[in-house]
Chain A
Amino acid sequence: MSEKVGVYICHCGTNIAKTVDVEEVSRWAGEQDSVEVSRDYKFMCSSLGQELIEEDIKEKGLTRVVVASCSPHMHEKTFRTACERGGLNPFLFEMANIREHDSWITEDITMATQKAKALVKAAIERVVHHKPLEPLPVDINPNTLVVGGGIAGISAALELANAGYHVYLVEREPTIGGHMAQLDKTFPTLDCSACILTPKMVEVGQHPNITLLTWSEVEKVDGYLGNFTINVRKKARYVNEETCTGCGICIEKCPYKIVDNVFEAGLGVRKVIYRPFPQAVPKYPVIDKENCVFFQRGKCKACQLFCPTEPNSIDFEQEDEILTFQVGNIILATGYDLFDPTRIPQYGYGRLSNVFTSLEFERMVNAAGPTSGKVVLRDMKSQPESVAIIHCVGSRDKNYNEYCSNVCCMYSLKFAHLIHERLPDAEVYNCYIDMRTPGKGYEEFYHRLLDEDTHFIRGKVAEVTDAARSPDEEGKLVVQVEDTLIGMQRRLPVDMVILSPAMEARYDSRKVSQLFKMGCDFDGFFVERHPKLDPVATMTEGILIAGACQGPKDVPASVAQGSAASARVASLIAQGTVMMEPVRASINEELCSGCRICNNLCPYNAITFHEDQEVSEVITALCQGCGTCVAACPSSAITGAHFTNSQLMSEIEGILWDVKKPELASA
C-alpha cells in the first residue's frame, strides 16, 4: 500500500502563521511516510491555492490530499470540490483544523506548532485509510406534510401549494388560524389581525393542492428524507363534513354553554357544539364530547333535531379515523404556549381578580371578543382609570425562562396604545427591564407611545398586592417596583394589571420532537441546523421548522420562516433526487453474529433483523451515520463509512506521534 499524499499548510494570512511555524510544519510533513509533496501557502482557499491541489493531483499523481487550515465546517466542501476537479474522489481528502483549534487559542508558538504537527500527522495517517465513496441518491416524494395551522404553517402550506405541490396541513384544533386569530391588532402597524389572516385561512381551505386535516394529530412517522409515511388520527367531530353546510343552526339551538378556555382565554363562553370563531376554517362545527349532555347523559340531541341538511349531518356514531399517506418532507410549525403566570404567585394572577394575562386582554380589546372591545375589569363593567402593564413575566428570569421572549415589549406597547385609544383619560404604566424594539418601524412605535404620555418605568416588578398602606391605595392593586432610573422603590396604585407572559415551547414539544426524531433544546424549542446560516432546517434531513416552535417570534418572522422552509422543500422537490453524504453504517453479514445489540441502539430504527439468516442489516436510507452501532458491535461487523475503525485508530496513532512509547520502543 503506497499512497501518495499531498499536504498543504495554509497561512491564512497571519491568522495561522502568526502562532504556528507553518514553514516548519510543511518541511516536517514532507519527511513523513507516504507524503509525496508538502507545501505551505498564503491562502489555500483562494482559487490559486485550490489550483495548487488540482495541479499536484494531475502532475504528481497524488492519491490522497490533506489540507491543514481552518475548520472543516468552513471549507471542507471547497477542498473536496478541488480534489474532484483534479480527478480525485472527494472523500480521499482530509482536513486538519490548525486555526480554530490551534493558532487562535494560544500565543505559545512552540506548543501551537507542536499541536499543528500532531493534527497534520493524524490527518495523514487517517487519509491513507480513506476509501472512495459515492454520495447516496434519494428520490423525493413531491408531497409535503405541514404540522400546525398557525400563521407559520399557513404561510408554508400556501407557498408550496401555489408552487404546484401537494400539502397535507394537520392542525389539532378544530380550526386553523392559531394564536394570530385570537389577536386584535398586530404591531406596529395596528393592522386588524383577523382582517389580514382570514383571507389566508380561506385560501388554505379552498386550495386544490391542500388537504386540510383539522381536529387531527400526527400519530406516527416512519421513513426518511424523500419518503416518509405518516399516520394521522382524525378525531371524531360528530359532524359529517360531506353534508354539513356550516349553517350554524345546530350551534344556535344547542342549549348548553360552557366557558371557553381556549379561544376566549376564559373570558367568554361557547356552546357545546361550536366553531371557535365565526371565520373558522373549516366551517364545520365540532361537538365537545366531554361537555355534551347527550354523550354524558344520553338525552338532548337538539343539534341533530334542528340540523336542516339531508341526510342529517350530526353523527353521534362517528369514530376517530386513522389516515395514512406518504410525503417527502415535513415542516413543523407547532407554535407556542403562553407562560402560566400562576407560577409567579407574587404577581397575583388567579388570586387578585383584576390581574389579566396578555391573551385575556387581546380577547377583551377585540371587537369580536367577549366584551365587544370594551376595556373593563373582571366585573365586566367598570372601566379602569389606571393600568399597569408588566413586561418579562416568566422571561429573562433564571427561575423560569432565561431567554428574552422577543415579542413582549412590542405587544405591551401595543396594549398601552390600545388603552389610550379606548380610555383616553386612563393612566398607563409600562414596567420593563429593557425596552427591546429591534424591528422595522418598532422603535418608531415606541416613540409614538412616549408621545402618548405612557408612563415608562424601568424596573422589573417585584410584586402586585392588594395590601393598602395609604388611603390612595385603598381598593387598588399596588404594583411595587424599583424605578431604576431614579433609584427609588415605587408603589403604583392601579385598577388593572396586565401581565405580558413569555412565549414558551409547547407543553408536549419534547414528545413531538421524539415523534419526528429531531432535536429539542433545553427550553423545549426545536433546534435548527445552524443558528445563523440554516435556521429552518433541522439536524434530521427532510424535517424543517418554522415559527415559534423554533423560538419566540412575531408574525413577520413566522411568515418569513414558513416561506423559507417551503422554499427549501420546493428546491428539493424540484431536484427530484438529492445526493446525501455517504457517512453511513453497513453490516458485514459474514461477521454478524446476529446478537441484535445494534437493533435497539439505533435511534432511527434503521437496523432490521433478518430472522431467516439471523443477521442484522442497516437500511442505508434510514441511517443518519451517527456510528453508535459501530461502536457497540461486539464482532466489529459494522463499518461506519468515512469513520471506520481503521481510520480512527490510525488517526489516534498519528495524533500521538510525538509521545514516547517505551513498550513500543523495546518491542
Chain B
Amino acid sequence: MKKYAYFPGCSLEKLALSYHLSSLETAGKLGVELQELEDWNCCGATTYFHVDQLLAYTLVARNLAMAEKEGLDLVAPCSACYKNAFFTNKYIKEDPDLAEHINFALQEDDLQFNGNLAVRHLIEVFADDVGAAEIKSKVSRPLEGLRIAAYYGCQIVRPRKNSEDVENPQFFEELVTAMGAEPTGFPDRLRCCGGSLIMTSRHAALDMVRKLLQNACDNHADVIATACPLCQVNLECYQQQVNEEFGTNLSIPVLYFTQLLGLALEIPSKSLGIGTELVSAAPIFSRFLEKEVA
C-alpha cells in the first residue's frame, strides 16, 4: 500500500468537505493511504502571491518540510494548493539562496526543508500511481450510460510541470472511462472557471462560469466532474447567480471525481458527501443508487 502525506487545504475542511470524505474513502478502497499532515497551514492560495512572494513560498515550505520529515511525498487534492506546493518545491531545489532564506525562517518552528520529496495532485496519484486499468478492475458498479464532462481547469496542468501535454491531456477522460461512464466531448475542459475572480471581479467570473456550463450542456453532459474545490464551488454554487445575471436557465450537477469514483466503487453515497450540493445530483443517480436504497 502506497502511503502519502495528505494536505487537504483550507477548502476541504468545510466548504469542500465532501471532496475530503470521498478522497479518503476512494483512496482507501484503491489501496492508497492518505496520512493527513499534522498541523498543516494554508498554502496562501493565489492571493498570498499578490502580496509577498517570499512569504508565500515560506508558508508552503512549512507544509513541505513537515511532509519531508515523515518521509512521504505530498499529495494535494486542490489544484491551487498543488501548484503552489509543486513550484515551491521546485524553486527551493533550484535556488540555494531561496532555500537558505526559507530555512532560516522555518527554524522558528524547528523545521528544515531539503527538497527531498515529490508533490502530486490527488488525481495524478489515481491516474498514474494506481492507474486506470487497476481502477477499472476494482469498479463494481460501472456508471453505465452516465455522461460525464471531465473538467481539468487550470492549475492541474498549467503551468507546465514536467513534460506533460498541457493542451491535450487525457488522464481525466481515462479515469471517467475506467468508472464505466462515458466522457463527453468538452472543448472548454481546459478553460479557466474564474474561481480566483469570483470574490473580486464578480461579473467576469460569472461570465466564465456561464461559458463553461453552457459548453458542458451543449455536449449533453449529465454531470461535470472536477478535481479542485475552487472549480467545484464556482461552477456549482454560482449557477443560480449566473442564471440571474445572464437570464439563462442552466442547471447541471458538479461533483468531485472522487465522489463519482466512489459510486462506481459502491461506497455509500452518504460517506461520499453526496447530498450537500446546491444543484442536486440525485436525479441522475437514482438508477445507480436504487440498490443502495433497497
Contact = CB atoms under 8 A, between A and B. Distances in A.
Interface in B206-232: 211, 214-215, 218
B167 A346 contact: yes
Chain A interface secondary structure, helix, strand, loop or mixed? loop
B200 interface: no
Q: For this complex, into which size category does the number of interface residues on chain A fall?
A: under 10
Given A467-B218, A469-B211, A345 B165 contact: yes
Nearest to B187: A467
Nearest to A467: B187
Contact of B215 (A345, A346, A467): A467
Contact of B167 (A345, A466, A468, A469): A345
Interface in A325-381: 344-346
Contacts of B215: 467
Nearest to A348: B187
Interface string B159-170: 000000101100
B220 to A, nearest CB: 13
B214 A469 contact: yes
A346 B165 CA distance: 11
B30 to A, nearest CB: 30
Interface in A434-471: 465-469
Contacts of A469: 211, 214
Contacts of B218: 467-468
Nearest to A469: B211
Interface string B88-114: 000000000000000000000000000
B104 to A, nearest CB: 36
A467 B167 CA distance: 15
A335 to B, nearest CB: 29
Q: For A345, A465, A467, which residue has the most chain B Cβ atoms within 10 angstroms?
A: A467
A221 to B, nearest CB: 36
Contacts of A346: 167
Interface in B136-179: 165, 167-168
Contacts of A344: 167
Nearest to B166: A345
B33 interface: no
B211 A345 contact: no
Contacts of A465: 187-188
Nearest to B189: A467
A118 B211 CA distance: 71
A619 to B, nearest CB: 45
A468 B219 CA distance: 11
A209 to B, nearest CB: 51
Nearest to B212: A467
A466 B219 CA distance: 11
Nearest to B210: A469
B214 A345 contact: no
A467 B168 contact: no
Contacts of B167: 344-346
A297 to B, nearest CB: 35
Interface in A462-504: 465-469
Contacts of A468: 218
A467 B210 CA distance: 13
A466 B187 contact: yes
A106 B187 CA distance: 58
Interface of A: 344-346, 465-469
15 contacts: A344-B167, A345-B165, A345-B167, A345-B168, A346-B167, A465-B187, A465-B188, A466-B187, A467-B187, A467-B188, A467-B215, A467-B218, A468-B218, A469-B211, A469-B214
Given A467-B188, A467-B215, 13 more contacts: A344-B167, A345-B165, A345-B167, A345-B168, A346-B167, A465-B187, A465-B188, A466-B187, A467-B187, A467-B218, A468-B218, A469-B211, A469-B214
7 nearest CB pairs, A to B:
A345-B168, A467-B187, A345-B167, A346-B167, A467-B215, A465-B187, A467-B188
